[in-house]
Structure 1
Amino acid sequence: MPDTCPSGATPAEAETFLAAHPEIQAVDILLHDSNGIARGKIIRRHELAALYRGGRHLPISILGLDVVGEDVHETGLIWDAGDGDLRAWPVPGSLVPLHGTDPARAELFLSQYHLDGTPMLSDPRHALTRQVAAMAAHDLHPTAAFELEFFLLDPERDAQGQVQPARDVLDGRHSGRTEVYSVDQLIGMQPLFDDIYAGAAKAGITAETLISEYAPGQYELTLRHRDDILQAADDLVRLKRIVRAQARRHGVVACFMAKPLADYAGSGMHLHVSLRDGTGRNALAEAPGAGFTDMLRHAIGGTLATMGETMLVFAPHANSWRRFADQSYAPVSPVWGVNNRSVAIRVPAGDRAARRIEHRPSGVDANPYLVAATVLAAMRKGIEERIDPGPETTGNAYEAGRDAAIPRDWGAAIAAAQGSAFLKDALGEEMHRTFTAVKAAEYARVARTIPDVDYELYLHRV
């Protein structure tokens, strides 16, 4: 065991936190797997200091689970390793109190290491850390923020067995309409959103603008950008957990599927990313009156050139692929544009000092650590190889239809990811093997499951 915590966390952090929060009785300790799902334990208050001093043994198999928590033996992380324990250590600065728990609890993120203190590279957090370090070698430092789109659903299905939007928690009113940008629709859910904002504030997250989005029961929360892209990913996974917990307290279901309603838009997880140089200046910002910088254009070029082979990261589940449809605000081709929501890579309008890339392919069901790692690797490739992004797309990018460079479905995306040397480098060989093995196992699970539509179409006809 290493003499010091390899993550950089110190026992003083735990001691200071416990002294400031005498009400805390327990702590959720969380490790995020390849799907971005938090897995771990709930420990008691008196156990926290020991965790900071010596870490916590957790089985290696935690990082080799599929979306429902079943072992995926093809990852090599189950019986090939004897399902032995590795050591998880606290992520510095991630210990925060939770809102609305009784008795009071806190939350702590962990990262997995080998027993000798070296990083366990099937941990998604380490994949992002590698890409941050690779950018830093160019004296470039990513600043980022994610957008969180989600649905609030009724816990009961409708008469046809379909999910339905939740009734307003304020007075039980039900709309069933899109209500995009309706402020009155937001007011009906205000007690819930008050608790979400309170939970975010308690966790040190600045949740900002709230929108009623482009489907019944769909909402969006924006997050303030972070100078540390790892912190931006932490904010996203933490906010999802806050939304889910507070929705449950109010009797509704928070849904982070990419496409829960067949006839409406799905939920994205757009990543806004810029690069600061060593002086803190935005390296993507052009001079006054000048055109876009070569660095911005080349960074865009890298994301477009690699998009086809990396779509599995952005659309990791069977349901993810239902989101990509014409006129749906989800991109269907690797093109870029300015102030244009029909493209995959958007340069938002606004002050040039805030110049950034908005990466739009990811669904809200994607793992933000892997999304950020892949996008950074693609931007770096574009910068290093001076990749031309091609002409800007203006107007309706959907008119050109689906691009052949983008896989048509989940199975094709898995095959493209498995064979991608770029993605293997972006995620690291171990993370790439784990992620693609988990996706292949989930694909097999779905393929052998007979859906209701099979009975509807074929039971009495063939």
Structure 2
Amino acid sequence: MTDPVELGAWLRNHAVEEVECVTPDFAGIGRGKVMPSSKFIRDNPTFLPTSLFFLTITGGYPDIANFTGYDTDADLMLKPDYGTMRAVPWANDRSVQVIHDVSDREGNLADFAPRSVLRRVIGQYEAQGWQPIVAPEIEFYLTKPNTDPDYPLEPPLGRSGRRAQKSQAYSISAVDEYDTVIEHIYDYAEALGLEIDTIIQEAGAAQLEVNLRHGDPLELADQVFLFKRLIREAALRCGCYATFMAKPMEEQPGSAMHIHQSVVVKATGENLFSTPEGAPSDAFRHFIGGQQAYLKAACCLMAPYVNSYRRLVPGITAPINLDWGRDNRTTGLRVPISPPAARRVENRVVGADANPYLAIAGTLAAGLLGMIQGVEPRDEVRSDSYERPRELPYGLLDAVEQFKRCDPLRDALGKGFSDLYAAVKEHEYEEFMRVISPWEREHLLLNV
């Protein structure tokens, strides 16, 4: 539904009382306003202050000089994308949510807004006559409610009355332990018109994965944005938490958001990664080459917090480099077994904590640069890539520094966005460094 008049009639006919006008910020948190549907139907502009879109995860603000709108905190306008209208099945009143783009007062899209960044990258593909296709896989943990951050997280009690402690990867029984939460996820997804490909038990205790079907990158980023909220609400209804932290619990695997990527010719739908004879194409090789050349610089988009790098350690289901291999889950870039028409590259670096718009934009930009520049990949790795040298940054500050030095990637994403994003991440790191951890008190208090 894209016509405002038609939308207004639909809202009235279905007795919708409230409309949530939402847009994702840098963290992927929905910002916006809730209004009566009668006001939304009048199609009056909705405004939000500029500062909302570069809040740090702690609610602070970076010190940014000469950024347009920063000194005055000028209003930005929300532009509804009517095709994103979905139900809000957990709301007390009959409500819908609509994802909005962010623009200035003249209607020009704000270049630093996450949806704008992804639109920019998709547009660069379209200029080549190409259409990128993605399929995200979202991992998350269910946990016992935790109201005191000084205490570690624990898995919730399952229907058996016991708490999961060990890996039960792909166990149907382990999935059944939390069937109430999963039933709510399915019900909410159906109400929102979102399609789930599969739900599986992952390697961690009470760790689940939702796989989405492949499609347009902006549509899939919207779906991940909605699914994260949907899953949290389903868990809360069942008396537990759902967390997308990259590494929420010690001695347990981290949570990823693997992104499957392919590129088709827009006019014909042919997979650009395969030749007419079904062999891997030059574009396929160069896409992988671009991922290897630029994903280190894009890592702060895919591992955006200090906690993210606790996941990227060898031997616990997460990569440490950008090796590539066919059906090799130890590499950062995996090529799943598939027919030529479905040939694709899986980025296994991305964490579940990443903003889906920015992570997808970053990984697609890296592949596009590789195809345009003709970057050749390294040789395929057929062994255990965890045994090979580390290539990814060790921490957030290192990742941000690499991002700041990579002009081709910054140009692809937009320099205005890139400067602002780097400033936010540096400020978050500085805030983290003010905190003294239990490890420091345990090992340094009386020993140094």
Give the alignment's TM-score, normalised by structure 1. 0.92
Q: What amino acid sits opposite 2:423 in the alignment?
A: A
Q: Tell whether the 8 Å contact from 1:25 to 1:104 is kept in structure 2 after alignment.
A: yes
- Report Cα offsets for 1:241-264 as digits up to 9, x if no partner: 100011111110001100011212
Unaligned runs of 5+ in 1: 1-7
SS of residue paired to 2:186: helix
Residue identity matched to 2:324: W
Decide which of 442, 452, 460 is 2:438's aligned counterpart: 452
Residues 12 and 281 of structure 1: CA distance in aligned 2, closer, same or farther (over 3 Å):
farther
User: Which amino acid in 2 is paired with 1:208?
Assistant: D
Is the contact between residue 20 and residue 95 of structure 2 (CA under 8 Å) also seen in structure 1? yes
> Which residue matches 1:426?
412
Asked if structure 2 preserves the Cα contact closer than 8 Å seen for 1:87 and 1:113, the reply is yes
Matched, 1:371 2:359: yes
Structure 2: how far apart are the matches of 1:328 and 1:104? Answer: 44
Instruction: Determine if the alignment matches structure 1 residue 303 to structure 2 residue 296.
Output: no
Sort the Cα spacing of 1:104 and 1:68 in 2 relative to 1 into closer, same or farther, 3 A: farther
SS where residue 308 of structure 1 aligns?
coil
Residue 375 of structure 1 and its aligned partner are, at CA, apart by 1.6
- Tell me, yes or no, if the aligned pair for 1:373 and 1:426 is still in contact at 8 Å: no
Q: Which amino acid aligns with 1:58?
A: L
Q: Which residue of 2 aligns with 1:131?
A: 121
Secondary structure at 2:329 match in 1: coil
Residue in structure 2 matched with residue 175 of structure 1 by the alignment? 164
Distance 1:76 1:58, change over 3 A: farther
Q: 1:172 to 1:280 in 2, by over 3 A?
A: same
Question: How far off its partner does 1:79 sit?
Answer: 6.9
**Deviating 4+ runs (over 4 angstroms):** 75-79
Establish whether residue 208 from structure 1 lines up as the match of residue 200 from structure 2: no
**Range moving further from structure 2, 66-75 or 392-401:** 66-75
1:21 aligns with 2:14: yes
Among 63, 66, 76, the residue aligned to 1:73: 63
* 2:251 maps to 1:260: no
Do structure 1's residue 45 and structure 2's residue 37 form an aligned pair? yes
The C-alpha deviation readout for 1:315-356, integer Å capped at 9, x for no partner, is 110000000111122111111111111111111102221111
Aligned-pair CA distance for 1:177: 1.8
Q: Distance in 2 between matches of 1:146 and 1:457?
A: 40
Out of 78, 82, 89, the position equivalent to 1:92 is: 82
Instruction: Find the residue that maps to 2:260 and give its secondary structure.
Output: strand
**C-alpha distance in 2 between matches for 1:84 and 1:40:** 15
Is the counterpart of residue 275 in structure 1 residue 269 in structure 2? no
| Residues 295, 363 of structure 2: 8 Å contact kept | no
What is the CA-CA distance between 1:77 and the residue it aligns to?
5.6
Structure 1's 33 and 119: CA in aligned 2 closer, same or farther, altered over 3 A? same
Deviates more, 1:125-134 or 1:373-382: 373-382
- Give the match's secondary structure for 1:148: strand
SS in structure 2 opposite 1:387?
coil
Partners of 1:370 and 1:427 within 8 A in 2? no
Show the 5 A alignment for 1:101-112.
101-112=91-102
Work out the CA distance in 1 between the residues paired with 2:302 and 2:65. 20
Q: 1:191 corresponds to which letter in structure 2?
A: T
1:430-445 correspondence runs (5 A): 430-445=416-431
Match of 1:4 in 2: none
AA matched with 1:163: L
2:145 to 155, 159, 181: 155
Match for residue 304 of structure 2?
A: 316
Task: Say whether the 8 Å CA contact 1:61–1:78 is kept in structure 2.
Answer: no
TM-score (norm 2): 0.95
Report if the CA contact (8 A) 1:157-1:163 is conserved: no
Note the C-alpha offset of 1:9. 5.2
The answer as to whether partners of 1:91 and 1:111 remain within 8 angstroms in 2 is: yes
Residue by residue over 1:353-395, the C-alpha shift from the partner in whole angstroms, topping out at 9 and shown as x without a partner, is 1111111111011111111111221111111111111211112
Letter in 1 for 2:155: P
Partner of 1:3: none
Among candidates 360, 380, 386, match of residue 398 of structure 1: 386
Aligned to 1:193: 182
Return the offset for 1:20. 4.8
- 1:326 paired with 2:289, answer no
Match of 1:142, SS state, is strand
1:235 CA displacement: 0.6
Query: Structure 2 unaligned runs (5+)?
Result: none
Deviations 1:101-157 (A, max 9, x none): 222222111111010111111101111111111101111001211110000000148
Cα distance in structure 2, aligned partners of 1:121 and 1:175: 45
Tell me how large the CA RMSD over aligned residues is.
Answer: 2.0
Aligned residues: 447
Mapping of residues 239-258 of structure 1, within 5 Å: 239-258=227-246
Contact 2:279 2:340 in 1 (8 A): no
Q: 1:157 to 1:19 in 2, by over 3 A?
A: closer
Secondary structure at 1:291 match in 2:
coil
2:47 equivalent in structure 1: 57
For residue 117 of structure 1, what is the amino acid of its counterpart? G
Deviation of residue 436 (structure 1)? 0.6
Work out the CA distance in 2 between the residues paired with 1:261 and 1:184. Answer: 22
In 1: Cα distance, 2:366 partner to 2:65 partner: 25
* One-letter amino acid of the structure 2 residue matched with residue 106 of structure 1: V
Q: Is the 8 A contact 1:25 1:105 kept in 2?
A: yes
2:308 maps to a residue whose letter is S
Distance, in Å, in 2 between the alignment partners of 1:47 and 1:78 is 30
Query: How far apart are the structure 2 equivalents of 1:175 and 1:119?
Result: 47
Cα deviation code 1:173-215 (max 9, x no counterpart)? 3222221111011112112111111211222211121111111
Q: Is the 8 A contact 2:50 2:69 kept in 1?
A: no
Offset, 1:171: 4.9
Residue in structure 1 matched with residue 329 of structure 2 by the alignment = 341
